[in-house]
Structure 1
Amino acid sequence: MHIAFLLPEYPHEKLPKSAGIGTSTKNLLKALVDKGLKITVFTYFQDVQEVFQDGDITIHKIKLRKYPVLTWKLNEGIINKYINKIIKKDKIDVIEVVDWTGISANMNFQIPQVMRLHGSDTFFCHLEEREIKQANFNREQKAFQKANKIIAVSEFVAEKTNSLFASNKEVTVIPNGIYMNDFKPNTTKKVDGTILYFGTLIRKKGILELAYIFNELIQKNSNCQLLLVGNDAKDAKEQRSTWKIFQEKLSAEALKKVNYLGVVDYNRMKELINEASVCVFPSLAESFGMVTIEAMALEKPFVNTDYPWAKEIVEDGETGFLVNPKSHTEFAEKINLLLTDKELASNMAKKGRAAAIKRFDITKIAAQNIAVYNSLVGAKL
């Protein structure tokens, strides 16, 4: 079976920096290849037209053509025509598209299409109480309605998307996953008192709430330190560095105990997780928390947001703590509890890893995806 993926991003040195969609998809694609599937990736709006290999995965970079007017619409046609040519030449059976900005809304493929809900622009605007861009909404709703099958990474994003698009489409929920063999705990590397946040420095991930949380924590425990790792995003409200805004919200005492490393490679990131005492995920808007399952797999205690998507991953008080990120004092208290009660932290971390192995092993999750693709192969459109 040959499956194609139409993606805005993919983690590779020949492509621009990738975020959550790219990382989670690459994990899945590697697992599908391991199970004998042939995989092709189409990445759009790129700087050059190019085809290259990432191991057994074929990557097509589709160049963005710029025009005085109608750039998006004209590029839709170019992308659609190019993909249909490759579908025919390489005998692709099914194509998977993403919900983000509804890139496939006006495209017609000769084969069935699956849409995976990672969280559309409409979805995130709704969660963040920002104005929804009408053009994006129209495309996303149209693309959602025309997909032959829908997969969602969480129950929350499935239900919310159906509601936002005034739909009742059947959705198969399949969580993201990771290779558990790539995430092996190393308790000998722990640095006492280090609290780790990893992910994009952006308002929707609760990074500004974390500044207030750390202000509270440093008053309770002056021996701790906060380490931030990830890309610094331009803040949507203030149009400037989120890292700069974060620093301005810290107390003088807290500021002395914060270190920001910027972006590090994947292997170094796993080392930093292993070295940390506690991880923190105060996100305000999410469809699924990849960082959470990575921390669980590395047997790391953590305090997570208590928003709906997190409740699908974490059992509060058992595999991690769930706290409203805007409840700064309570969030700080839970972090301090994990820093000071070593037995509690260790037991919770072990339960977290066991849960991750059981529920988020990508080799098991790949089989669920294959079942969806199989249901469409040979289907009449």
Structure 2
Amino acid sequence: MKIASIVCTFPPYAGGIGNSAFRINELLKDKNEITVFTPATTKPWFRYGLGAFMPQLFWKLNKFDYIYLHYPFFGTAEVVWFFKLFFKKPKLILHYHMDVRGLRPLARLLSWPSRLIRRSLLNQAETIITASLDYIKKSQIKNYYAAQPEKFKEIPFGVDLEKFQPKIINQKINDQAISKAQKIVHYVNDKFIKKHRVNVLFVGGLDSAHYFKGVEVLLNALFLSTNRNWRLRIVGEGNLRTHYEEIAQHLKINNQVEFVGNLSEADLIRTFQEADLFVLPSINSNEAFGLVLIEALACGVPVIASDLPGVRRVFEDNKQGLLVEAGNVNDLTKKLELIFNDEKRRKNMALAARQLAEQKYDLKKIKIHLESLFI
């Protein structure tokens, strides 16, 4: 099948929707021909944030069997909608990543057309994919889901378990005769021997489009912690990085906070493996799942994440990690200290994290579900 993959961002830009689109394309490319349509720096007629108006797309879509639209995509989702008013083919698969939100006046103005045509666009879709029905049931399209639940298909994001895995640091257990599960137990045991400082990790965009990631909440929560034996590594880049660095300096914790920028996949995996705790402190429902959460779980890293629709179903509270009230600095401090002060809890959560990733987020299993859509 020929598939037009339409997405607002795509690697090397670091962003959750683009990264998930890339992974989905990789899973589908064995049996399909994928063409990606995403804004270039100079070609869109108009661009604002992660949105772009690309009317030239209208004349290209009839060459495909399927349109795979990653929603939201301000400006271009409207082009797809307009195209589908005139043409029944190609079929439309809509991947609903998150709600359309605009906080600033210009953003609200530009998002208005998306909200206006959204129901019609959903009607045009043959299938609506979501990573979490829990998110959909609380989203701006909850009434649409209630009326037509059969159109929705829940397919969680997946992770490559061969790449994202705990590092086996004890060379004595590298014998293939020892099961992978046993190796992970050895890894966790070795990781906690003679180790006192807790390495905390955050991975996410540091630009205005990702304001909701809650970096400021995390910095303030760590500042309030009575346990000072931690170090925070922040992976990501963007125009808000300087602002966050200034906050760390103002709180006088900058000597414990390291901003490392964007990393290659190999370096990112190594950074996950070195972490003792991963935190996703998102402040609102712009965070609908958290791809980085399952990457952390796959590497055997306990997680703390905001109790938000979608996010709260990625793992089991008190088993692989802890849920925290979104935007609540004091609650995050409390949950951080529960992890900091209880090595046994961290160890048990680390083991449970990898087990969950293998059971629920194996890319090989996700691939089967995705391929079934394109027949």
TM over 0.5: yes
Query: Out of 58, 64, 79, which is 2:44 matched to?
Result: 64
Q: Does 1:203 align with 2:211?
A: yes
**Aligned-partner residue type, residue 24 of structure 2:** L
Secondary structure of 2:141's counterpart equals helix
Taking the TM superposition and a 5 Å limit, the aligned residue runs for 1:21-36 are 21-33=17-29, 36=30
Query: Out of 90, 94, 98, which is 1:119 matched to?
Result: 98
Between the aligned partners of 2:370 and 2:168, the Cα distance in structure 1 is 34
Between the aligned partners of 1:301 and 1:44, the Cα distance in structure 2 is 34
Secondary structure of 2:311's counterpart equals helix
Partner of 2:124: 146
The answer to whether the 8 Å contact 1:118/1:287 transfers is yes
**Aligned-partner residue type, residue 215 of structure 1:** F
Partner of 2:182: none
**Aligned-partner residue type, residue 163 of structure 1:** K
Between the aligned partners of 1:311 and 1:136, the Cα distance in structure 2 is 27
Deviation at 1:371, TM superposition (A): 2.1
Deviation at 1:47, TM superposition (A): 4.4
Between the aligned partners of 2:14 and 2:247, the Cα distance in structure 1 is 28
**Aligned-partner residue type, residue 215 of structure 2:** I
Q: 1:326 to 1:18 in 2, by over 3 A?
A: closer
Partner of 1:106: 82
The answer to whether the 8 Å contact 1:10/1:23 transfers is yes
Q: Identity of paired residues, percent?
A: 21
Q: 1:228 to 1:164 in 2, by over 3 A?
A: farther
Partner of 2:329: 328
Partner of 2:369: 368
Q: 1:173 to 1:64 in 2, by over 3 A?
A: same
Q: 1:168 to 1:185 in 2, by over 3 A?
A: same
Deviation at 1:83, TM superposition (A): 2.5
Secondary structure of 2:282's counterpart equals coil
**Aligned-partner residue type, residue 364 of structure 1:** K
The answer to whether the 8 Å contact 1:10/1:43 transfers is no
**Aligned-partner residue type, residue 227 of structure 1:** R
Q: Does 1:9 align with 2:9?
A: yes
Residue-by-residue CA offset, 1:65-118 (whole Å, 9 max, x unaligned): 57xxxxx77x42x2121232x32xxxxx32211221224221235221110011
**Aligned-partner residue type, residue 238 of structure 2:** D
The answer to whether the 8 Å contact 1:7/1:42 transfers is yes
Residue-by-residue CA offset, 1:184-232 (whole Å, 9 max, x unaligned): 2016496732211111124311111112111112xx1222121111022
The answer to whether the 8 Å contact 1:3/1:37 transfers is no
Q: Structure 1 length as normaliser, TM-score?
A: 0.78
Partner of 1:56: none
Measured on the aligned residues, the alpha-carbon RMSD in Å equals 2.7
The answer to whether the 8 Å contact 1:44/1:79 transfers is no
Structure 1 unaligned regions, length at least 5: 49-62, 67-71, 88-92, 234-240, 375-381
Q: 1:250 to 1:316 in 2, by over 3 A?
A: farther
The answer to whether the 8 Å contact 1:99/1:140 transfers is no
Q: 1:131 to 1:65 in 2, by over 3 A?
A: closer
Taking the TM superposition and a 5 Å limit, the aligned residue runs for 1:1-381 are 1-12=1-12, 17-33=13-29, 36-47=30-41, 63-65=43-45, 75-76=54-55, 78-84=56-62, 86-87=63-64, 93-100=65-72, 101=74, 102-103=77-78, 104-108=80-84, 109=87, 110-120=89-99, 122=100, 124-125=101-102, 131=108, 133-159=111-137, 160-163=139-142, 168-169=147-148, 170-186=151-167, 188=169, 192-201=197-206, 202-217=210-225, 220-233=226-239, 241=240, 243-245=242-244, 247-248=246-247, 252-284=251-283, 285=285, 286-374=287-375
Deviation at 1:166, TM superposition (A): 8.9
**Aligned-partner residue type, residue 20 of structure 2:** S
Deviation at 1:359, TM superposition (A): 0.8
The answer to whether the 8 Å contact 2:131/2:289 transfers is yes
Q: 1:146 to 1:196 in 2, by over 3 A?
A: same
Deviation at 1:335, TM superposition (A): 2.0
Between the aligned partners of 1:164 and 1:44, the Cα distance in structure 2 is 30
Residue-by-residue CA offset, 1:219-269 (whole Å, 9 max, x unaligned): x12221211110224xxxxxxx35415633765442332111111112111
Residue-by-residue CA offset, 1:279-308 (whole Å, 9 max, x unaligned): 111112311110100000000112111222
The answer to whether the 8 Å contact 2:201/2:272 transfers is yes
The answer to whether the 8 Å contact 1:2/1:37 transfers is no
Secondary structure of 1:247's counterpart equals helix
